[in-house]
Structure 1
Amino acid sequence: MFISEALALGSATCIALSSMFINELNGRVPLMRLARWQLTAGLLITALAATIVGGWATLGSWQIWALAASGAVGIALASTTYFAAIYAAGPRVTALLFTLTSPFALALGYLALGETINLRQGLGVALILLGVLVAIGVRRRRPAPMIPLSDEQPIETPAPDEKRATLAGIALGAVTALGQAIGTLLARPAMASGVEPFTAMAVRSGLAVLCIWALLILPAVRRRTAPARKVDLLVAIAAAFFGPALGMSLLMAALETGDVGIVSTLSSMTPVVILPMVWLRSGRMPRPLAWAGAALAIVGTALTIA
């Protein structure tokens, strides 16, 4: 009965794990190189999975166009601005802004598809958003390192003008949230028609990969290319498996039967799910407010899927 909700929560968990891998590359891999690695690996993984399960037969011409448009906005644009927002404003501010995906998706689902939610579900969505805001709203102890947009040597310290970097991060984070919401909305009709999830992600990733590699024609993107390290590539592939491949495929599967707003809200719990992962990785327990936010989000989830 609650398959779409479980799939959305599974997507949040996979994307949280992917974020942990991406964080390992912070300060080591430039933004555009990371985007190329991520999207290309995600395309290869999902295309192979789609071939194994015979998913290509579920595609029609209009689904291809709808999913390609979804990929252009929700992957090519939103993924790149997501990485850029992390490097410009830090993971905490970016995660905070990413929660805007839920209200964006709710509004778009209502305006474009006529989707509605009842009072209990609305309260659950509000508690999830509040929980995420509380969990990730604690000020970071120090700013995250910055990485340039081009393939040059990483910058190990933050930009000197913190205010300007923060404003840039806010803008990039808002664009990410809106792009993700629009991409989800565009994919919903195709998924409701029965397209296999891995196949849907392969189509979405295909156009995104073409776009991201086409950017190499820009001198600012390809200048001063530094040698890539094998270990960094392996970490990026692992991140792609759990993020663009498995995590986003679970999101596509959730859209087959779930409302855009509810699915987007549940999948936005990534910042809450990541708390125990950060604890295990760093050995430092998150602050009490973070756990309080997680508790609110869990209560909200229960109301949403009850």
Structure 2
Amino acid sequence: MPLSELLAIGAAICIALSGMLISELTGKVHVLRLARWQLTSAFVMTALVATILGGWRTLDQQALIHLALSSLFGIMIASTTYFATIYAIGPRSTALLFSLTSPFALVLGYGFLGETISLRQLLGIALVILGIVLAIGLKGGSREAAAKIAWAGIALGIVTAFGQALGSLFARPAMAAGVEPFTAMAVRAGLGALFFAGLAVLPLPAWRGSYIFTPRLMLIAVGAAFVGTGLGMSLLMAALASGKVGIVSTLSSMTPVVILPMVWVRTGKAPPPLAWIGAALAVVGTAFISL
């Protein structure tokens, strides 16, 4: 297997592991505080790499505007709802719902950039949606409260995927203009970190109440940022540098599959067969869209 494909699979594993780490913070760290910790860590990591690579020279005013809009939708909104989705329905279902990013990006590209959609890509969208429905299920739950949590989590996951797709849409002009990838991520993460730092001075429930700070909790949050944003994005960038975009995008989207063994090890219970089938269909659907 070519190195680029191994790197792309490594990126999927890192993103899955990051989701598992974040799930350990459920009920312990508020999503707004977690977002602040994560984005601050991500900014420090990516800004350091951008400085080493000299990427700041690739920025101009127009690129900054596009990256700011990308940060608004893909970071400030989508990161918050991503963490909230993991808290509500767990990392496995969140990874599946995140697969909707590809269909949303395809539709947005068609609507705003004049890109075409083939029949194969339409089939890919259908497979992604079918995989999510099969793996998550739409029965609700035996108790009304549990059903409400599930539906709220699904709604948050959809918002996350749509926000990520919008973030990618606004970032495309900047990346096409030659902005260095780590620099672009540093700008997006830095603006997000400033936003959540500003929220920290407001008298919000996130900064008080039953959430107790411990070094262990921050270590988990920073570790998730390092594994997901730092290492995961580095592997993805390296894969894109030498591999075909469609293949790399497909392999890096295998998070819903690779996270299943992690959930199995963590909980001691094997995910149901439909979870495996649904995750596989979501990856195949993404392949139809990307390749």
Q: Which residue matches 1:215?
A: 199
**CA separation of 1:103 and 1:136: change in aligned 2, threshold 3 A:** same
Residue 73 in 1 paired to residue 73 in 2?
Answer: yes
> Quick one: which amino acid aligns to residue 278 of structure 1?
V
In structure 2, relative to structure 1, the CA distance for the partners of 1:85 and 1:142 (3 Å cut) is farther
Under a length normalisation based on structure 1, what TM-score does the superposition of the two structures give? Answer: 0.77
Q: Secondary structure at the match of 2:26?
A: coil
- Contact 1:42 1:240 (8 Å CA) reproduced: yes
Shift of 1:187: 0.7
Q: Deviations over 1:87-131 (max 9, x none)?
A: 344445544543432332111011111222433444345434433
Q: How far off its partner does 1:39 sit?
A: 0.9
**Cross-structure match for 2:156:** 172
Shift of 1:274: 0.9
1:41 is aligned to 41
Uncovered stretches (5+) of structure 1, i.e. residues with no partner: 144-159
Q: What code does the residue aligned with 1:52 have?
A: I
> 1:285 maps to what in 2?
270
Residues in 1 aligned to 2:16 and 2:186: alpha-carbon distance in whole angstroms: 21
Aligned counterpart for 1:190 among listed residues 159, 174, 184: 174
Q: 1:5, 1:258 within 8 Å by CA — same for their partners in 2?
A: no
Question: 1:116 & 1:50 partners in 2: Cα distance?
Answer: 34
Partners of 1:303 and 1:181 in 2: how far apart?
17
- Give yes or no for contact 2:19–2:91 (8 Å, CA) kept in 1: no
Aligned length, in residue pairs: 287
Over aligned residue pairs, what C-alpha RMSD do you find?
Answer: 3.6
Q: Deviations over 1:132-177 (max 9, x none)?
A: 443444989999xxxxxxxxxxxxxxxx944544454344333222
Note if contact 1:39-1:244 (Cα within 8 Å) is conserved in structure 2.
no
| Distance in 1 separating the partners of 2:8 and 2:70 | 18
> What residue number does 1:235 align with?
220
Using a 3 Å threshold, how does the CA distance of structure 1 residues 139 and 201 change in structure 2: closer, same or farther?
A: farther
**Is 1:199 paired with 2:221?**
no
SS of residue paired to 2:219: helix
- The alpha-carbon distance between structure 1 residues 88 and 7, as it changes in their structure 2 partners (threshold 3 A), is same
Instruction: Give the 3 Å change call, closer, same or farther, for CA 196–82 of structure 1 in structure 2.
Output: same
Q: 1:276 — aligned with what?
A: 261
Aligned residue in 1 for 2:110: 110
Indicate how the Cα distance of structure 1 residues 24 and 164 shifts in structure 2: closer, same or farther if over 3 A, else same.
closer
Cα distance between partner residues in 1 of 2:11 and 2:98: 15
Structure 2's unaligned 5+ residue stretches are none
Aligned counterparts of 2:235 and 2:165: Cα–Cα separation in 1: 16
Where in structure 2 are the equivalents of 1:89-168 lying within 5 Å? 89-91=89-91, 93-137=93-137, 161-168=145-152
Q: CA deviation at 1:206?
A: 0.9
Q: How has the CA–CA distance of structure 1 residues 267 and 180 changed in structure 2, closer, same or farther, with 3 Å as cutoff? A: farther
TM-score (norm 2): 0.80
Amino acid at match of 1:232: L
Give the direction of change, closer, same or farther, for the CA distance of 1:302–1:204 in structure 2 (3 Å limit): closer
Equivalent position of 1:146 in the other structure: none
Distance 1:14 1:93, change over 3 A: closer
Structure 2 residue identity aligned to 1:43: F
Bigger drift between 273-282 and 185-194 goes to 273-282
Change (3 A) 1:20 1:128: same
Question: Which aligned pairs between 1:251-270 and structure 2 lie closer than 5 A?
Answer: 268-270=253-255
Structure 2: which amino acid aligns with 1:40?
A: T
List per-residue Cα deviations over 1:174-209 (Å, max 9, x = no partner).
322221111111111111222221111000001101
What corresponds to 1:245 in structure 2? Answer: 230
Q: 1:161 to 1:123 in 2, by over 3 A?
A: closer
1:287: Cα distance to partner? Answer: 1.9
Cα contact 1:8–1:254 (8 A) shared by 2 = yes
Structure 2 distance, partners of 1:115, 1:6, is: 30
* Farther off after superposition, 23-32 or 248-257: 248-257
Residue identity opposite 2:127 in structure 1: L
